[in-house]
Structures are given as structure tokens and as C-alpha cells.
Amino acid sequence: MTPRKPGLTLQIFIALAAGAIVGAIWPAHAQSLQVLATIFIRLVLVIIAPLIFSCLVVGIGSQSRMRELGSLALQAAGFFVVLTAGALALGMGLALMFRPGQGFAVNPAVPAEPVAQAAESFWVRIFPQSIADAMARGDVLQIVVFSVIFGVAVTLAGKAGHPVLRLCEALAQVMYKFTGVIMLAAPVGVFGATAALVGRQGMSAGLGFLSLIGAVYLGLALLLFVVFPMLLVIFRIPLRAFFQAIKEPFVLALATASASAALPRAMENMEKMGVPRPTAAFVMPTGLSLNPAGTTLFVGVATIFLLQAYGMPLADSAMMSLFGTLFVTSKGIAGVPRFGLVVTAAGLSSVGVSSDVVGAGIGLLLGIDPLLDMPRTAVNTTGNCLAAAVIARWQGTQLDSSTGGLSMQYPIADDEAGRDQS
């Protein structure tokens, strides 16, 4: 029997351990392995522009389909925006409060100064003179602005815009596959980054990440045990029934680090709790891309951590710009492998951080990302279940898992009832 190949997360853990061992035993040679991480990081950075463009255009251009769902789509979109914006603000706030990146030892050879910003107004600077130039320079804000306007134009063009939308859908699918292919090299990049880091700084380098891990775990715990229960109480959703319903999906998402793997059981359990099937069928799959509360919180903490680690404080206006970029970008490219790291790279680029620093920062996060991936994915799944329950309550549905199904939760048309009885 052919032995089963270990999954990507296990491969990254193995690469992390191997890199630490090599860096500790052969520190001088290990530092030269940084080239492996640099190549991998460059491949990640080259994804950002086409991925943001294609996904944002598809997301906005598909709104005409969502309008057919009326109030359900509006309610879902509103809840997604509020929850993920709150999660991002919580993550950035925790990082600013506990300063996990302060005193973190980074490679002194990497320049730690942001790229000089133009003297013109921020509001002028976010509009590109040329989208090709913006993509070549990696100016994420300009790419986002162009993509949003382009997506709106595609929607307004009606049938004439359909071929463009299909082209962008195809491009988005290709970029997903492209990202997947590149992520196959993640263990190699992690091995090189870890070996070089430990070779330079010794085994104590890992201790610097404890504050980052602690801040992320604290934020996820606050979402899971404070924010989510508060929303359950506000919308009069039975707490015990809800947590009983999400127990199995939560464990599945935690074990597999995949919200998609937990989705079928999550939808089934929420329907048993009383969420109408049309609501669960629309809200929960959509929430995979638009409502990743746990990952959004991680992005907020990680981005501020890297700015602190490289000694680059931001003014209040730049911090607001960073918040907006992280929020919009997370909606554009959610669902791709390790998309939290891609969003973090995009956010840093948007506030003028040089590509060298962005690449080095993502290299720092690569090794510990699996430790944070599983819990944040479990929180993502819980947030999607919460969204389905809240929107069901907005629609007037009474939720109670003791009913054993949906028949008592919303009326069935006479002709459907007749067919059920026959």
C-alpha cells in the first residue's frame, strides 16, 4: 500500500523543524538558504495585482445576480461588513496595545524605511494614471480603486459586459490555481527562511513570535467567547443550541484548517437548528469568501506586528488607509491558499513599505502561519454559522434545535404540503 503524502500544513511544520535544526547546526551555511525564501516570496508578491483585479471585478460584476435575492443578499452583505470590520479593528487594536513586534530582532540588512510617498494629496495619489504602471509598481490602493470602478462599469454595461466578466472569472480561476501551485513550494520557502533566521539569531528567534501568537489567540478567543455570544444574546439566539450545532463543524475546521471541509456539516446542523434552507444555502457558502472573521483578525495583528518589527510607525491617516486596504483586499482575494499572508503583503505595500521589507516580513510569518491557521479557520466557520443564524432571526425565524428539522420553522406552500403528504 502506497503511503499517503503528508498535507501541506504538515509539510510546513516539517520544513520549519528542519530549517531550525539546520540553522542551529550550520549557522554560516544556513544563512545562504535565504535565497529559497526570497524566490518563494517573489512568487507570492507577483500574484497580488492580477488576483486582486480579477477577484474584485468578478465580485462586483456579479452583484447583479445577488440583487435577484433581494433583502437576503443585503442583510448578508451588511452583517459580513460589520463583523469583519470589527474583527480587523480588534486585531489592529490588540497589536497596537500589546506591541508584539516591539524589540523583535529582524535582519539588519533589510532596509527598514518606507518608500517615500509623493507629496500630492492622498486622495489624488490613490487614483492611477496608468493601471499597467500601478501593477508594475505594486501600488495596491491604485489597483483596488481601478478594479472597483472597472467592476461597476462591467455591471452597468449589462449584457455587453458579460464576456468581460467571464474573462475575469476565468482569470480568477487561473490565479487560484497559480496560487495553489506556488503554495506547493511553501515548505521550501519556510525551510530557507527558518534556517536563515535561526542561523543569524540562534534558536531564541522563535521566542519573538510568542507575543504575536498570544495576541492572535487572544483576539480569536475574544471573538469566540465574547463577541459572538453577545451577538447571540442580542438577536435572541439560544446559546446552548448554537454552540451544540457548531461543535462538530468547529472541530472539523480546526483539524483540517479548511472552512470548506466543514461547510456541509455546518449547513446541515444550522438547518436542524431551524435556519431556513435557502438562507443557509446562500449565506454560508458566500461567507467563506466574504466573512472570514478569524483570518481578518489575524491580518490586522500580523500587519501591525511587521510594522513594529521593522520600526515603521504610521501616522493616523496612513493607519486609516491601511485599514481600508486590508478590509477591501480581504474581500477581493479570500479563499485562496494562505490568503491572509497575501492580504498582509498587499496592506504593507499600500502604505509605501518597500518590496524588500514586505518580502522579508512575509518570510517571517511563513513559518508560524500553520500554528495560527487552524484556530482562525475554526473561528471563520463559527462566524459563518452565526451569520446564518442572525439573518434567519432578521427574517423572523424562531431557532430551536429541539424541533429536529425545518418543518416547524417556516410555512410550506399548500401545493408543496400536498406533495409531501402524497
* Residue 90 included in any domain: yes
What 8-state DSSP symbol labels residue 107? Answer: -
Instruction: Report pLDDT digits (tens) over 11-33.
Output: 877 887 888 889 888 888 888 88
Q: Under a CB-based contact definition with an 8 Å cutoff, are residues 332 and 52 in contact? A: yes
Region for residue 154 given its phi and psi (left: phi exceeds 0; alpha: psi -120 to 50; beta: otherwise): alpha
* Residue 401 included in any domain: yes
Name the average pLDDT for the chain: 78
Start-to-end CA distance of the chain, whole Å, equals 50
pLDDT tier, 215 (very low <50, low <70, confident <90, very high otherwise): very high
pLDDT score of 413: 35
User: Which comes out higher in pLDDT, residue 133 or 79?
Assistant: 79
Q: For 197-221, what is the mean pLDDT? A: 79
The CA distances from residue 364 to 46, 221, 300, in Å, are: 18, 24, 16
pLDDT score of 110: 47
* Residue 374 included in any domain: yes
* Residue 47 included in any domain: yes
* Residue 40 included in any domain: yes
Q: What angle do CA 256, 258, 263 make, to 5 degrees?
A: 110
pLDDT score of 390: 94
Instruction: Report pLDDT digits (tens) over 317-370.
Output: 888 888 988 888 777 555 555 678 878 888 887 777 877 778 777 777 877 787
d(CA 197, CA 199) in angstroms, rounded, equals 5
* Residue 422 included in any domain: no
pLDDT score of 416: 35
* Residue 275 included in any domain: yes
Residue 85: CATH number of its domain: 1.10.3860.10
* Residue 410 included in any domain: no
**Domain around 58:** 8-405
Q: For 262-274, what is the mean pLDDT? A: 85
pLDDT tier, 417 (very low <50, low <70, confident <90, very high otherwise): very low
d(CA 303, CA 323) in angstroms, rounded, equals 10
d(CA 160, CA 248) in angstroms, rounded, equals 45
Look up the pTM and report it: 0.70
Q: Under a CB-based contact definition with an 8 Å cutoff, are residues 422 and 332 in contact? A: no
Cβ-based burial of 89 (10 A; exposed 0-12, middle 13-18, buried ≥19)? middle
Minimum mean pLDDT among 134-138, 143-147, 239-243: which range? 134-138
d(CA 15, CA 12) in angstroms, rounded, equals 5
Q: For 265-280, what is the mean pLDDT? A: 85
Considering its fold, how many domains does the chain have in total?
1
pLDDT tier, 203 (very low <50, low <70, confident <90, very high otherwise): low
Q: Residue 308 is placed in which grid cell?
A: 513594529
CB neighbourhood size of 36 (10 A): 21
